[in-house]
Amino acid sequence: MKINKKIMLAVAVFFSFSAMSVKASSVSVVPAGQTVVNVGDTFVLDLIIDFSASPTLGGGIDINYDSTMVEFVKFEFDSDFLKLSDPLLTCPGANNCSPIDQTGKGKVENIVLGNFMGIDNKHTVGTLSYILNDYAFTSINPAVTTASGGTFVSATTNEPMSLNLYGVNLHNGVISQSGGIPSVPIPATMWLFISGLFPLLLKAARVTKGINGEKL
């Protein structure tokens, strides 16, 4: 009976630990306030990062969209975020704080951010402005940039980070949140915990069978 209680406690601790461990950092595109637009209207989206789970040294972000459905106007870095991100990474040249829009290709490319001391918590990186061209369904989604050095790196382990990426959908002039959650690797410490838990479960099963008079 005592063993069963220990197992229940161990399982409870395991699931609590796993819930915390698989929480990944995220990059999101969210409505900046206006959620209903008409064709020809300009609408604004916030680009938000959340590294509350684990700080990052930085990385690069692309914003993918359908250029036939929406027209890109501009991207502007948040002034407070520019104080946090290293200017040598975010603004590599004098007065060069604007990412490249691949006109006609539907991509705002290489929004770079980073700090060698690490960036944690939740921040608004900047705002994206678009003009709606059509009421048909379309989406605007963030992605880790395909440019060199775009992968986000952990400030604690110096290893590549897994990110949850969330975008927005537009349909009939209504902006709504969307998002896909990529698989997040289970940390090695959790696998060690699991491997240690299995023998305990097996032992408990044998003890229970012995108490019930079953053949061991």
Q: What is the pLDDT of residues 114-137, one digit of tens each?
A: 999 999 999 999 999 999 999 999
pLDDT at 69 over 70: yes
pLDDT tens-digit map of 89-101: 776 544 456 666 6
Write down the pLDDT at residue 207: 47
Decide if 200 contacts 10 (C-beta within 8 A).
Answer: yes
Residue scoring higher pLDDT (9 or 139): 139
**Mean pLDDT along residues 61-71:** 94
Residues 6 or more apart in contact with residue 126 via CB below 8 angstroms: 46, 47, 75, 76, 77, 78, 81, 111
Question: SS3 of 89, please?
Answer: helix
Residues 6 or more apart in contact with residue 132 via CB below 8 angstroms: 37, 38, 39, 40, 41, 43, 69, 70, 170, 173
pLDDT at 20 over 50: no
Of 203, 176, 195, nearest to 6 by C-alpha is 203
